[in-house]
Structures are given as C-alpha cells and as structure tokens.
Structure 1
Amino acid sequence: MTSVLLSLPDLYNSYKNWVSKNPQNASEYETASKWLSYFIAGRINNSHVMSELVYCVSNLLVLFNDQIIRECHQHTKSSSSQKLKVWLTIIEYSEVFCELSAQKLWGNRGRWLIITAIQIFKCIARLQLIYKHKETIIVTPSITPLERDNISQNNTKSLLDLEQNGLNSASFTLKRSGRVVRKVESSPPLPLRNWKPLEPPLLMSNTENDQTVEKALTGKQLLAETLYVIKPIAHLCSVGCFGANTWKPWILSIAMDLTSLQLYKSIQKKSLDALTRKQRLQLSRRMVVLVLYLIRSPVYEKYTGNKLHALLLSLSKNLPLARIICQPLSQYLPFWQSNYFYMWST
C-alpha cells in the first residue's frame, strides 16, 4: 500500500506529461467517455443518474486536462478570479447530477434544497466576478473548453522567435521606409538567390492588432449583466411563490432576459465599439438560448410538447433510419425537459 501511495505522484506527473504532449489524443478519450453516457441511458437501473455521472465526469476530465495544458504552455499562476471560475465551472458541470442524486436519496424536498444552494452560490460567485474582479460578461461554462487545435499553432511561437532572431542577424530595417534589407555577408550563393525582398513575419503583429482592451462594466452594461445574473434566483423565488407550472415564473424570466439584451442593444446602437468581440459573441448565444423558452414549462405542456412528439413520430415513420434517433428521443424528451430545460440552468 505504501509503495502505491509513493507512486501516485509519479503517476500524476507521467499523466501530466502525456496530456501536455498529446492534447488531441486526450480529446479522443474525453469524447469517448461522453458517448458512453448516451449509451448508458435507459439500459441499466438508475440509468439517468449513472449517465449523468459519466457525462459530468467526462466534462470535469476535460476541465482538468485543459488546466494541465494551460499550465504547461502558458506558465502563469492562477489568480483568485481564475480559481473562482474553476469552482463555478465544476458546479455548472455537476449541478444536474447533484439534483438527480438528491432526488434519489432525499426525495423532491432534497432536490429543491440542492437546487437552491447551488443557485445561491452561482449568483454570489458571478456577482463577485462582475463587481470585484471586473469581469466583462458572464459565460457558461465559466471556463470554456480549450481549443486544442490551435495549440500546435501556439507552439510555433518559439519557432517564430527563432525566425525573427535569424532575420535580425541576417538583415537590417530602414528607419524611414521600414523596408528589410539583407546584409551582404548573409546573402546566399548566386545560383540559390530568388531576388525577392525580405519580409518580416506577420503572425505576431496580426494577433496583437486583433486584441482589444476589455474595460470594466459600467452604467447600462452593469445593469444588464446584473439582471442576467440574478435571473435564476428571481425565477426560483417566483417558482416557490406561484408554482413551477404557472405562467408568472416563465414571464418574469423571459422579461429579465429580454430587458438585459435590450440594454446591451441600446448600448451597441450608440457606439459600434462599445462592446468587445467576446461580449457580442456571448450575447448572440444568449439570443439563441431564448428558443429554449418554447420547451420550458408551462409552454411545453400546453403547446409544444404534443407537436414535438408528433413531429418525431412522423419523421421516424417517413424517413429511412430516422427511427433509430427519433424514437429514443421521443421517449426521453419528457425526462430531459424536466431536468435540463429550466430557467436557472443558464
């Protein structure tokens, strides 16, 4: 037992080195674990809890591996805001599993207790990111998965620096025109010359010019983001007062979402540069998420539920091989609607 414990640090270091050197292979294993969660659903006892556990663990594995890759390639210490984002991301990935587990262990009352505790923590943490750490906009998940396809491009930075150093040693730049001139002693042999002028590498300059300075939220932006952050708590309180299947929580939630988006839109109308690229991208995602209101209670029970089931049934009958997808989707849609498509999940 002692030898196993002593080897754990070595195992972790070897795993850390493997992930940092093989990010694409790690992504393949993470994807396989996510597909495993879909395969488990409906095939074993307590399949909903088990599939959600596997899906939760696969997301946490992605987060863990991304942190390893960032540490190895960026060599930066995590700040207090980054640590808070890590905890928020862990909660966002595991909240559905916690809710299902609480319902299985303690019934509906335990589930609502866990929901309330999670949403209070998320609301306080997000407000702290906005007001204390000056976060420009809240994203979900708080730490987005790393784009590992670009890691190989980032690794060329050192090669680019070597190229730049070689260029500096083989040439000089004219002060007025900025033209790069090759030194006489660095000229290649006459048969190998192409007689083309030297050009400095443009990769670093392009990336630097694309970066914009993000400023802290003020005025309408701060109000709009605060409305978005407190919306889950407001909806949860409304559900406690009026019930989950009434119109008042639904109307309150969509009104707060639309008000927040309208405030951002009024800011953008005054100045096109008022919002950063990150903010515009996240706001476009929030507008797309508004479609989920069509499959949230009570709209789902009264209007869209029967139409969705009829559509899936029609597709499974009329399209070849569509039955393989549409029939399980129709069976699990009520469960997914009751556990994933609620207001406080965003």
Structure 2
Amino acid sequence: MSDILKSARDRLNENLMEIKQAYVNFVSQNPEMVDQIEKTVKTSSYLFEALSKNYDNSIFISELITSACNLFAYANTKILLKTRNLISQTDENKFVAKLKQALTVVEFSQAFLELSAGRLGGSGARWAVIVVITIIKTILRCLLLYMFDSGLQSPALVTMINKTNIATQATNSDENENIYIGRRTGHQMATLSSSYSK
C-alpha cells in the first residue's frame, strides 16, 4: 500500500511540475496577453461592483477578485523578470526575498481579509485582523530595514512594471545592457554607459 501511495504522490508531483512549467512558459512567451488578461479581470471586478444590486456582496467579491489579480500579477512579473534574466537571483539574500514576498502577499490580501473578518465576526473581528496584519507588516518592514538595510518601500511595486516593456528589453540584448531595473521599486532607468554609447 505504501508503494502505491508513494507512486501516486510522485505522479502527482510530476503533473504539478509539468503544469507549473507550462504556465511559466506561457507567461514568458505571451507577456502582452498576460497583461491584457490581468487588466480585463481587474476591470471586470470594478464593473461587477458598480452594477451589482447587493452592495455588501459586490464589495466582498470585488476585493476577492482584486486581491487574487494583484497576487497573480506579482507572480507573473516575477516569472518574467526571472526568465528574461533581468533580475539577478544572487543580488539579494534568499531570506530577504522571502520576507519581501510575504510582505507583498500580506499587503495584497489585507483588504479582503479585513472584509472577510467583518462579515464572519463583526466589527470586533475586523479590528482584530487589522491589528494583527499591522503588527505583521511592521515586523516584516523592521526586519527588512534594520537587519537587511532593504528600505521601507513596498516590494509590491514590482507589479507596476509594464510587461510589454520587459518583453521588448529582453529581445534586444544591447538595450538590456543600457537599462537598469531597480530591485526594490521596479523602476526602469537608463545607465550612464547608455549616454556614452550614443
């Protein structure tokens, strides 16, 4: 029986890895399409909220869709930066990267968690969740600032990078050498060497 379970687990792991790799390939090969899908889903959440007759339910569902969409946008941008070699994995400590990811997930999920707590347990539960989330964010930010000198700016700003620009940069190796993408903010800027080459 244990051999059967082990074999089933291995098969499941293989299938999950294949699905993950297929998704990574899709995102890296179709950045414009992924960007359009994200924008369409986010817009649909606003339309749903505006057109829904039940205000409480519409806000709840809209926040759920927005949180999920922001998390997917963050994951997709990280995939693109990694597959296009526009971000170096050795530039920062893996623990720091995990802290930044945790902070981003908390920030993107905060509004939805607050609404969920309010619906399930009332105002007291909602404020309890707000306090807990604020404490978690404060601890993560203090760790990043004081222990790793990583600054206070939100790592979630990496989602602001235009995916089409990422694709354009990656296809032109000469341009890649002349463009710097900030690790903390995701802002793109020309390097000094690019001005000399012109």
TM-score (norm 2): 0.73
Q: Which residue of 2 aligns with 1:331?
A: none
Q: Which residue of 2 aligns with 1:56?
A: 67
Q: Which residue of 2 aligns with 1:118?
A: 133
One-letter code aligned to 2:137: K
Gaps of 5+ in 2: 1-7, 180-188
Q: Which residue of 1 aligns with 2:31?
A: 23
Map 1:68-83 onto structure 2 (within 5 A). Answer: 68-74=79-85, 76-77=88-89, 79-83=94-98
Verify the 8 A CA contact 2:42 2:65 in the aligned structure 1.
yes
Query: How far did 1:146 drift?
Result: 2.5
- Alignment coverage as a number of residue pairs: 168
Verify the 8 A CA contact 1:49 1:100 in the aligned structure 2.
yes
Q: 1:144 to 1:129 in 2, by over 3 A?
A: farther
Q: Which residue of 2 aligns with 1:209?
A: 192
Q: Which residue of 1 aligns with 2:123?
A: 108
Map 1:303-342 onto structure 2 (within 5 A). Answer: none
Q: Which residue of 2 aligns with 1:34?
A: 42
- 1:89 & 1:210 partners in 2: Cα distance? 33
Higher relative contact order (CA 8 A, sep 6+): 2
- 1:96 & 1:19 partners in 2: Cα distance? 27
Out of 6, 11, 18, the residue aligned to residue 10 of structure 1 is 18
Aligned partner of residue 141 in structure 1, secondary structure? helix
Find out whether 1:149 has 2:168 as its counterpart: no
Gaps of 5+ in 1: 162-201, 212-346
Q: 1:33 to 1:72 in 2, by over 3 A?
A: same
Verify the 8 A CA contact 2:114 2:130 in the aligned structure 1.
yes
Aligned partner of residue 31 in structure 1, secondary structure? helix
Q: Based on CA coordinates, which of the two structures has the bigger radius of gyration? A: 1
Higher helix share: 2
Query: How far did 1:143 drift?
Result: 3.9
One-letter code aligned to 1:106: G
- 2:83 & 2:142 partners in 1: Cα distance? 30
Query: How far did 1:137 drift?
Result: 4.1
Query: How far did 1:80 drift?
Result: 1.9
Q: Which residue of 2 aligns with 1:131?
A: 146
Q: 1:18 to 1:102 in 2, by over 3 A?
A: same
Name whichever of 106-115 and 69-78 sits farther off: 69-78
Verify the 8 A CA contact 2:46 2:62 in the aligned structure 1.
yes
TM-score (norm 1): 0.44
Q: Which residue of 2 aligns with 1:220?
A: none
Query: How far did 1:21 drift?
Result: 1.1
> Which whole-Å deviations, capped at 9, do the CAs of 1:206-264 have from their partners, x for residues lacking one?
943279xxxxxxxxxxxxxxxxxxxxxxxxxxxxxxxxxxxxxxxxxxxxxxxxxxxxx
Query: How far did 1:35 drift?
Result: 1.1
- 1:142 & 1:124 partners in 2: Cα distance? 19
Out of 43, 46, 50, the residue aligned to residue 52 of structure 2 is 43
- 1:47 & 1:27 partners in 2: Cα distance? 24
**Sequence identity, in percent?**
30
- 1:203 & 1:108 partners in 2: Cα distance? 52
- 1:203 & 1:126 partners in 2: Cα distance? 31
Map 1:115-264 onto structure 2 (within 5 A). Answer: 115-139=130-154, 141=156, 143-158=158-173, 160=174, 203=178, 207-209=190-192
Verify the 8 A CA contact 2:80 2:166 in the aligned structure 1.
no
Q: 1:12 to 1:144 in 2, by over 3 A?
A: closer
One-letter code aligned to 2:42: K
> Which whole-Å deviations, capped at 9, do the CAs of 1:287-338 have from their partners, x for residues lacking one?
xxxxxxxxxxxxxxxxxxxxxxxxxxxxxxxxxxxxxxxxxxxxxxxxxxxx
Query: How far did 1:76 drift?
Result: 3.5
Verify the 8 A CA contact 1:49 1:97 in the aligned structure 2.
yes
